[in-house]
Amino acid sequence: MFRVFPLLYSYIIYTFCGCLAMYLIYWLDPQMYPSVYWIYFLIGILAEFMVLVEISDQIFRPLPAIRNLGRALTIVISAALGLIYMLPVVLWSPGRRPALLGFALRASVTKAIILAVLFYVARHYGSRLGRNIGGLMLGFSIFVAMNVAVYAGANAFGSELFAPTLWVMGPLAFALCALVWTISLWELAPLPSMNTISTAPGRDSDAVALELTRFNSELSKLLHK
Amino acid sequence: MITLIYAAIAIAFLILVLGLLRKTLSHEPDECVTDSYSPPSTANGRWLHLSERIFDPTDARWLAEELGFPKLANALIIDRKRLAIRWLEALQAAFDDLVRTPEISPSEAPKAGSVGSWQMLWLTFRFKISISYALLAVKVFGPYHRLIPSFSWVPFSRRSERSFRRPALANSRSSH
């Protein structure tokens, strides 16, 4: 399982080890804790995007024509929303804390949009997700949805007032997500059989590439008439 | 207020995800996949030849200019436009069917990110853009309008186009 999802497992290990390290730092050096926590938090957000790329790679794996569609969608949406939606809040926020909370909220909304688009496109192309990928995406969706609600509350009511809720809800969201992931990844479920993916007979990758080229050349001929 | 909006977004997102997940996890074949209609393939020569007839303006011109039946020519153009749209939609359906084709040995499939996979994705994307443009152009301007704008108003391009077309015209005349 680690070979299939190396980034996902690295992220889980990072989160658990990071959590323990945070408690240690809080206990040993409370002065240093806020700066270290925000660094750990920002690295976590970046790691979540990488995990999303890894999950999206698996969605269209049986379909050679659009094998990279998941990755392409994730990268394009992340880059576009990163520039027009996430970056402004970092640049024009009054202080460091609202900037970081605003960034976390907008990053969560971006992840929610990516997940919704991936689910929709998977359904459109009849790609059956299977227990592993479906569970991973569901767990991530619960985590992202809870984060959106929690960070929106923190942004609206101020981090001082909302700190106790954030203190409980953040780990709770991750615990729920980890629970769904554990159940779905308990055993490696093979991808759904071919006849459940599509009614079309299977082909090898080269034959599909050839047919894609033929379709494009037929259409180009028509367009250049 | 903004918190409520975000909370609503979070709930709506979860409902959407659960709904889509239920459909993508179910083993019932999708309605768009199990259509009784089977789209034609590019290997079907007769079906491709049909496009040449549909997009060829000679019949309509012959009716309007040589026989002098402009109304009949207009009716033919409207009918051909409908056929052209159906032909393009069938081509799109055939392409979607190809995109949904699974690999014979998915366990040995190359990992996402390989160069070949990116090229295939580019071909898919290019076709989708081109077919959407062609459908739009046919719906707006009809089947006999040039789908790619002509640059004949540019003096040097007109000259080069003429010199390019002359041998082709000579060949077509000699074949008739």
In a domain, A84, yes or no: yes
Q: Determine the straight-line distance between the first and last CA of chain A, rounded to whole angstroms.
A: 52
The model's confidence at residue B151, banded by pLDDT at 50, 70 and 90, is low
On whether any CB of chain B is under 8 Å from the CB of A69, the answer is yes
Total domains in chain A come to: 1
The model's confidence at residue B56, banded by pLDDT at 50, 70 and 90, is confident
For residue B19, the number of C-alpha atoms closer than 13 Å in the C-beta half-sphere is 8
Q: Of A62, A71, A148, which has the smallest distance from its Cβ to B103's Cβ? A: A62
* Chain A residue with Cα closest to B92: A215
Nearest chain A Cα distance for residue B148, angstroms: 6
Question: Residues A133-157: pLDDT tens digits?
Answer: 888 999 999 999 998 988 888 877 7
Q: Which of A55, A206, A68 is nearest to B121 (CA)?
A: A68
Distance from C-alpha of B44 to C-alpha of B47, rounded to nearest angstrom? 6
Q: Of A72, A141, A201, which has the smallest distance from its Cβ to B14's Cβ? A: A141
Domain boundaries, position A153: 6-193
In a domain, A200, yes or no: no
Two tokens, residue B110: 């190359």
Nearest chain B Cα distance for residue A69, angstroms: 7
Q: Is the pLDDT of residue A192 over 80?
A: no
What would the mean pLDDT of B139-162 be, rounded to a whole number? 64
In a domain, A90, yes or no: yes
On whether any CB of chain B is under 8 Å from the CB of A72, the answer is yes
* Chain A residue with Cα closest to B146: A225
Distance from C-alpha of B6 to C-alpha of B142, rounded to nearest angstrom? 46
Find which of B30, B88, B114 to mutate to test the A interface (most A CBs within 10 Å of its CB).
Answer: B30
In a domain, A221, yes or no: no
Distance from C-alpha of A150 to C-alpha of A140, rounded to nearest angstrom? 15
ipTM exceeding cut-off 0.85 for this assembly: no
- Residue B47 · residue B40 · CB < 8 Å: yes
Q: Is the pLDDT of residue B86 over 80?
A: yes
On whether any CB of chain B is under 8 Å from the CB of A123, the answer is yes
Please report, for chain B, the start and end positions of each structural domain, with discontinuous segments joined by +.
41-100+116-170
Q: Is the dihedral of CA A201, A206, A209, A214 positive or negative?
A: negative
Residue with the bigger pLDDT between A117 and B157: it is A117
Two tokens, residue A189: 């479920």
Two tokens, residue A131: 């227990």
Q: Do A137 and B124 touch (CB under 8 A)?
A: no
Distance from C-alpha of B175 to C-alpha of B78, rounded to nearest angstrom? 31
Distance from C-alpha of B95 to C-alpha of A181, rounded to nearest angstrom? 35
Size of interface A-B (CB pairs under 8 A): 224
